[in-house]
Amino acid sequence: MWLFNSSVGKKVVMSVTGLALILFLTFHMTMNCVALFSAEGYEWICNFLGANWYAMVATIGLAILMVIHIVYAFWLTWTNRKARGAERYAVTARPKGVEFASRNMLVLGIIVFVGLFVHLFHFWSKMQLVELQGGEPAAGVELIRYTFSKWYNVLLYLIWFLALWFHLTHGFWSALQTIGFNNKKWYVRLKWISYIFVTLIMGGFATVLILFFCAEGLNWAIFPGLFQGLVG
Amino acid sequence: MDKNISFTLKVWRQRGPKEKGEFKSYYMEDIPGDTSFLEMLDILNEMLINRGEEPIVFDHDCREGICGMCSLYINGHPHGPATGATTCQIYMRRFHDGDIITVEPWRSAGFPVIRDLMVDRRAFDKIMAAGGYVSVNTGGVPDANAIPIPKEKADEAMDAAACIGCGACVAACKNGSAMLFVSAKVSQLALLPQGKVEAKRRVKAMLAKMDELGFGACTNTRACEAECPKCVSISNIARLNRQFIGAKFKD
């Protein structure tokens, strides 16, 4: 099967799972933004994506995508390092046009993965997991308020977002290149789309985080009329 | 007139494929700036022979940047510091008095060292033999203008055909991937009507050969494109991916 035994096939698996995960992040970010405007609306989303069958199917699907993406990442890195050979260059220089992210996708991915566990511990373990065990899930907005009133959590999440930003700015255009959707004209466009789209996603996440920290951690009233979710 | 410069050359010496190599330093004195890099190595070899030492083995042939024979990883760059030029087109005026210039062979599992700076690049020939050609039945020569080809297509094919198969892409790639080479060789034929006929068989055969010979997979760092002496674009890699995926879906 070409998805297992050819280099391009393996890359296609990385590409498609990666794109699906970006799609998930897009939805996740959109739903987070709801928490800014309406606590009620956010609670509705939390209930909607609680421990019901469709949310469970989606969660398991997401976990499978992650696992495939990670397993293939290590598999490809291992074969690529083998292809590089045992002897390393004594002097190396980074050529013009080669970006930091593109050379460090595995390291960035590992940071993202570790951050994911912190995130699951903060939220998932107190919401969907509790509900699965038959308990009463924590209120979503309250949990956000509590978690992001702590400056160290905010810092940790911002570092996590930065790693994700680097990972995705390379990942997005690279995924499209791998499935063959690129040429000389589209290369420049794809790079721009990557930067703008990924900055929007990660910026959305960061905005929610920072505004909640300002409202809860620093007790600032930020446009209470607009951001009703922030008003506790 | 260019100034004369003196510098230290750190060269990889390795007696055979199985033996352990090491760097040896040589001091080069008063080398004119208009000496080419390979001429400079000739001067060094002359010196070594006169001293009764073994000369340095390195690949070279046409010395005008079209044969793809010269290699050398100079100061961290395949084909040295210039862009769009091969090692034989590099002149010593690019370096400074007192520099330490490190010269290494291509390092990749697909290109084992034969001796000193010479590596075995027959893997590329094997990839070409797997499908990098157009099968033609002999007969009368067809009229040149019988098959119309759009100018942009012809240009793209020509840009891909500029690949001289030197292996700088593999040397530059952190994954030791030959994707830029394979994609150029696939593109130069696939873009033209004569090559399209066998495009599916070709892309599958050449890529399978590349994987079989132990080259890595592409992670789109674009180091190959940046270091390619012929400025072959990674858009060829996108075309290779597209054609390979298309061919596999057709199966």
The mean predicted confidence, pLDDT, of chain A is 91
B22, two tokens = 């090491």
* Residue A214, number of CB atoms within 10 A of its CB: 17
Q: Both B100 and B156 in a single domain?
A: no
CA of A4 to nearest chain B CA: how many angstroms apart? 12
Q: Sign of the C-alpha dihedral, residues A115, A118, A119, A124?
A: positive
Q: Both B75 and B130 in a single domain?
A: no
The per-residue DSSP string of A28-61 comes to HHHHHHHHHH-HHHHHHHHHHTSSSHHHHHHHHH
A83, A98, A182 member nearest B223 (Cβ): A98
User: Which helix (DSSP H) or strand (DSSP E) does residue B152 occupy?
Assistant: helix B151-161
Q: Both B73 and B174 in a single domain?
A: no
* Residue B85, number of CB atoms within 10 A of its CB: 17
At A22-60, the pLDDT tens digits run: 999 999 999 999 988 888 899 899 888 887 889 999 999
Distance CA B31, CA A75 (A): 48
Angle between helices A105-122 and A151-178 (to 10 degrees): 130
What type of residue sits at position B129? A
Is B110 contained in some domain?
Answer: no
A229, two tokens = 């979710």
Distance CA B105, CA B69 (A): 13
Between the CA of residue A145 and those of A42, A152, A203, A209, what are the distances in Å? 13, 14, 19, 9
Mark yes or no for CB contact A179/B241 under 8 Å: yes
Tell me the pLDDT of chain B (251 aa) as tens digits: 678 999 999 999 999 999 999 999 999 999 999 999 999 999 999 999 999 999 999 999 999 999 999 999 999 999 999 999 999 999 999 999 999 999 999 999 999 999 999 999 999 999 999 999 998 777 787 787 888 899 999 999 999 999 999 999 999 999 999 999 999 999 999 999 989 999 999 999 999 999 999 999 999 999 999 999 999 999 999 999 999 999 999 98
Q: Sign of the C-alpha dihedral, residues B125, B131, B132, B134?
A: positive
Is B112 contained in some domain?
Answer: no
Q: What pLDDT was estimated at residue A232?
A: 65
Q: Which of A96, A228, A179, A13 is nearest to B81 (CA)?
A: A96
The per-residue DSSP string of A79-124 comes to HHHHHH-S---SS--PPTT--HHHH-HHHHHHHHHHHHHHHHHHTG
Is B115 contained in some domain?
Answer: no
Closest-CA residue in chain A for B204? Answer: A6
Distance CA B138, CA A10 (A): 40
What type of residue sits at position A46? C
Q: Both B86 and B134 in a single domain?
A: no
Q: Which of B157, B162, B174 is nearest to B239 (CA)?
A: B157
CA of A72 to nearest chain B CA: how many angstroms apart? 12
Residues 6+ away with beta carbon under 8 Å from A132: A51
- For the residues A134-161, what does the mean pLDDT come to? 88
Q: What pLDDT was estimated at residue B1?
A: 62
Q: What pLDDT was estimated at residue B3?
A: 87
A85, A91, A180 member nearest B75 (Cβ): A91
Residues of A in contact with B178 (CB under 8 A): none
Distance CA B224, CA A121 (A): 42
Domain boundary at B71, B104, B137, which? B104
Mark yes or no for CB contact A177/B23 under 8 Å: no
Q: Both B154 and B236 in a single domain?
A: yes
Distance CA B234, CA B127 (A): 19
Q: How far is CA A120 from the centre of its chain?
A: 12
Residues 6+ away with beta carbon under 8 Å from B249: none
Paired with B27 in beta bridges are B8
Q: Both B161 and B84 in a single domain?
A: no
Q: Both B91 and B204 in a single domain?
A: no
Q: Both B85 and B142 in a single domain?
A: no
Q: Both B126 and B246 in a single domain?
A: yes
User: Which helix (DSSP H) or strand (DSSP E) does residue A67 occupy?
Assistant: helix A53-84
Q: Both B81 and B128 in a single domain?
A: no
Distance CA B121, CA B226 (A): 21
User: Which helix (DSSP H) or strand (DSSP E) does residue B114 occupy?
Assistant: strand B113-115
Q: Number of folded domains in chain B?
A: 2
A55 close contact with B: CB closer than 8 A? no
Task: State the residue for tokens 């590596």.
Answer: B119
A80, A88, A177 member nearest B216 (Cβ): A80
Residue A169 clears pLDDT 80, i.e. is over it: yes
- For the residues A225-231, what does the mean pLDDT come to? 79
Domain boundary at B104, B139, B172, which? B104
Q: Which of B34, B28, B40, B29 is nearest to B72 (CA)?
A: B40
Distance CA A197, CA A171 (A): 12
Is B216 contained in some domain?
Answer: yes
Is B193 contained in some domain?
Answer: yes
DSSP conformational letter for B99: -
CATH number at residue B156: 1.10.1060.10
Q: Both B11 and B75 in a single domain?
A: yes
What type of residue sits at position B43? I
ipTM attached to this prediction: 0.90
Exposure pattern of B102-127 as b/e (b: 16+ CB <10 Å)? bbbbbbbbbbbbbbbbbbebebbeeb
CB contact at 8 A, B122 and B213:
no
Residues of B in contact with A81 (CB under 8 A): 175
Domain boundary at B104, B133, B154, which? B104
Is B229 contained in some domain?
Answer: yes
Domains in chain A: boundaries: 2-80+106-230
What type of residue sits at position A164? L
Q: Both B65 and B31 in a single domain?
A: yes
Is B208 contained in some domain?
Answer: yes
Distance CA B55, CA A25 (A): 59
Closest-CA residue in chain A for B80? Answer: A93
Is B175 contained in some domain?
Answer: yes
- Structural domain that includes position B82: 4-104
Residues of A in contact with B225 (CB under 8 A): 97
The per-residue DSSP string of B217-251 comes to ------HHHHH-TT---THHHHHHHHHHHHHHHH-
